[in-house]
Structure 1
Amino acid sequence: MIEFVKGEVAYHEADYLAVDVHGVGYQVFVPNPFVFSDGEEVMLYAHFVVREDAQLLYGFKTKRERNLFRLLLEVSGVGPKAALAMLTHMQPEALVQAIQIEDVKTLTKLPGVGKKTAQRLVLDLKDKLAKLGWEQGPLLMPETAPGPALAGGERDVIDALLALGYNEEEAEWAARESKQKDGVEMGTEEWIKKALQAMMKR
């Protein structure tokens, strides 16, 4: 069993990091890979999945986040890809709160989560989360009304956020919130990273 991966981010894609560990590149699927920078030293707590057709490595910044990922996998109908999408779209504390207060409406906004899956999340995990001492945190579902249409590099940022599971309204808000306001040019990759950081602070 792989407990953690420690190394340097060689590069990142839409849903994973390539982590250089002493010259060996590991593909590690993580929530919001754009919050990491190329060349950054990372230590990710791992969850290793072995299937007949693949071996997949998932990584998380904290043990707590990994433990929540593993709890999500205990729910019928929730696989690693769906669990990762949930943690990409909402901070762990926000997801836990939605489950604890039985907020099915919020849960169904998550990618791939229908009403039945949302109800199973509540039924299967509400008591477990309470026993494990998870505290409720603020929900991160922005209520900001969408602003005017965005163009140019902003569209690239929005499209990247959409690919990560955010909806159009959230993506537009994050792009506007993280836009450089002093006139200095900012690369798309840096902009995406700042937009994701803005979403996490929401």
Structure 2
Amino acid sequence: MIAYIKGKLAYINEESVIVDVHGVGYELVCPNPYIFQPSINNEVHIFTYHYVREDSQVLYGFKNEDQKYLFTKLISVSGIGPKGALAILGSVDIPEFIRGIEQEDDKFLTSFPGVGKKTARQMILDLKGKLTSMISITTKEIESNSTQENVQDLNEAKEALKALGYTDREVKSIIPQLQKENLESTDEIIRKALALLMKN
């Protein structure tokens, strides 16, 4: 099992990053590749999960061990594959997701692409009580993190930006920066996003 890759970040695209390790380029499929943008052409340390099936082998890359751990738990849930797990990880932070599981928040969980009520209930059944003790965050951090409304505002802002003609790639590239801001409404998120996009 390949636990992590350490090398020079050579390239970033919409779904993956390429890490050069002594002349060999490793492609790592990531939840949000653009989160590594500040490290382009520099050395990176990316945690990996080697996904092996009869017809394919894929290396998935993660910013930290908690993200990697959550990915492994998500793909163990019936109805969720790697693509579904990446979609969840790419649009929510871990404390917020755990809070949704622990509070059995079906509405929050079904806001993710491809997650219906049946899959949301399966996630709650399989994961409740199994994440808070093993991921390196506290219950207090879970409770104090972004609310469901914040996520909904972000999702609405993303759709608005796409409607304005920005590509999915352009929008994804600024999500990490938007998540760091203390923005309280969809309008504020859109204004900040437009300012960031104009700089890029």
Query: What interval of TM-score do these two structures reach, taking the shorter chain for normalisation?
Result: 0.7 to 0.9
Which residue in the other structure is 1:180 paired with?
Answer: 195
Is it true that 1:35 corresponds to 2:25 in the alignment? Answer: no
Paired residue type of 2:47: Y
Which residue in the other structure is 1:111 paired with?
Answer: 113
Task: String of CA shifts for 1:32-73, please: whole Å, max 9, x gaps.
Answer: 111222313211111001122221001111111111111112
Cα distance 1:72–1:80, how it changes in 2: closer, same or farther (>3 A)?
Answer: same
Is it true that 1:138 corresponds to 2:151 in the alignment? Answer: no
Cα distance 1:172–1:13, how it changes in 2: closer, same or farther (>3 A)?
Answer: farther
Cα distance 1:109–1:40, how it changes in 2: closer, same or farther (>3 A)?
Answer: farther
Structure-2-length-normalised TM-score: 0.75
Alpha-carbon distance between aligned partners in 2 of 1:2 and 1:171, rounded to the nearest angstrom:
40
Alpha-carbon distance between aligned partners in 2 of 1:171 and 1:143, rounded to the nearest angstrom:
5
SS in 1 for 2:199: coil
Structure number having the greater helix percentage: 2
Alpha-carbon distance between aligned partners in 2 of 1:160 and 1:112, rounded to the nearest angstrom:
22
Is it true that 1:98 corresponds to 2:100 in the alignment? Answer: yes
Task: Please point out which of 62, 66, 69 is paired with 1:67.
Answer: 69
SS in 2 for 1:36: helix
Task: Please point out which of 36, 43, 46 is paired with 1:44.
Answer: 46
How many equivalent pairs are there?
A: 177
**TM-fit CA distance, 1:74:** 1.6
Identity of aligned residues (%): 38
Which residue in the other structure is 2:176 paired with?
Answer: none
Q: Structure 1 regions of 5+ residues with no counterpart?
A: 164-169, 188-202
Paired residue type of 1:104: D
Paired residue type of 2:199: M
**TM-fit CA distance, 1:21:** 1.1
Paired residue type of 2:109: L
Which residue in the other structure is 2:56 paired with?
Answer: 54
Cα distance 1:94–1:52, how it changes in 2: closer, same or farther (>3 A)?
Answer: same
Q: Structure 2 regions of 5+ residues with no counterpart?
A: 174-184
Which residue in the other structure is 1:191 paired with?
Answer: none
Paired residue type of 2:13: E
Structure-1-length-normalised TM-score: 0.75
Note if contact 2:162-2:171 (Cα within 8 Å) is conserved in structure 1: no
SS in 1 for 2:131: helix
Alpha-carbon distance between aligned partners in 1 of 2:52 and 2:186, rounded to the nearest angstrom:
33
Alpha-carbon distance between aligned partners in 2 of 1:157 and 1:175, rounded to the nearest angstrom:
15
